Amino acid sequence: MIYFDFYGFTVKLSSSSEDLLRLIKLNFSYFHVKELKEVHLEIEAFLKNGAEFLPKELVAKKQSVNSITYDLGDLRYNDYYGEALSILDYRNSSAKIFSSNINRLHEITYLLMMSRQGKWCDKKGIHKIHSMAVANEKKNLLVMLPMKGGKSTLFTKFLAESKFQLISDDSPCVNSKGEILNFPIRFGIEKKPMYEELLSSINKESIFTLQRNLYGEKILVDMMFFHNRIAKPKKETVLVQGFRQNGGGFKVKKVAKVQMLKYLLINMTVGVGLPMVIEYFIENNIRDHLGNINIFLKRLYSTTNLLFKSDCYFAYMGNDIDKNFNEIKKLMK
């Protein structure tokens, strides 16, 4: 049994699988705590098939390439096409997850925690933004890129220079004042020769893999291996929207805040690319639908405050990774 505290949202996870508990702890070690006074979400994870717990003749509420979603009162069933089953009880704030495959059990437990934690924090005015984020002694740097756009590659370049502090490789948080907050969960590295030197410098106990159903295997690193470099975010922020271009060139230009608004709306207010996981985030009742409208307005308010507190740039990035890194880090001077 292990516990987590995400900015006030608390999770109790129990499982007979020690491997699962170890993996989830590595994902969220920055937020791991030894005990809790209250629990906002209680999860039981079972390393076994849970097909017997799915009622018969339910009508699907939603279907995707990943899962089929059913609602029965306050219970939400997500059937991952026989590979796994999750049962989320909204009324009692509890969940049960079943899979005989440790990789699927790991992935779904991680996604459910991220989704419910994210929603609770949204309600409290703490919102994620889809970007990589680091800091130096004076400023935060947030670089927004689409999925597969190179955020993790850029993050590992900053990781290699000890003068930079770490905020998040994919989803830093922004509060209602437009201030940056840490979200240093595990970060991902593709299995490529260019990362071999970095991986060889990290304790093997801090490296693990996630076999994702849709996106394949990814090597993950416990951010707390670099615990002495976890940032205390600064008041000044540099916002960069990155664009990929052919060739090895690089071009950057400072832009007006209104030009950056579109990209903040996409990456933060709407949250494209964030691990919201709709089948866990959206509940099947009017109260929740109204609450989601309120979340959207809160995100918009924080987006606006972040925008007004930031210097904004467009960066047109070529295929030369080192050049991209060296030019982007100049923006922090």
How confident is the model over 164-187, as pLDDT tens digits? 999 999 999 999 999 999 999 999
DSSP state of 29: G
Predicted confidence (pLDDT) per residue in 65-100, tens digit: 999 999 999 999 999 999 999 999 999 999 999 999
Q: Is-contact 166 231, C-beta < 8 A?
A: yes
Q: Classify residue 224 by its DSSP letter.
A: G
Round to whole Å and give the CA distance between 55 and 308. Answer: 51
Q: pTM value?
A: 0.94
Query: What's the pLDDT score for residue 214?
Result: 66
pLDDT in tens, 116-155: 999 999 999 999 999 999 999 999 999 999 877 788 889 9
Burial 170-196 (b: 16+ CB within 10 A, else e): bbbbbbeebbbbbbbbbbbbeeeeebe
d(CA 173, CA 153): 20
Do 242 and 147 meet the contact criterion of CB atoms below 8 Å apart?
A: no
Task: List, for residues 148-160, the tens digit of each pLDDT value.
Answer: 778 888 999 999 8
Which of the four pLDDT bands, split at 50, 70 and 90, describes residue 304? very high
CATH number of 127-197+223-332: 3.40.50
Write down the domain spans for the chain. Answer: 2-123, 127-197+223-332
Percent of the chain predicted with pLDDT > 70 = 98
Rounded Cα distance, 208 and 23, in Å? 7
Contacts with 191 (C-beta within 8 Å, 6 or more apart), sequence order: 217, 218, 219
Whether the per-residue pLDDT at 216 is higher than 80: the answer is: no
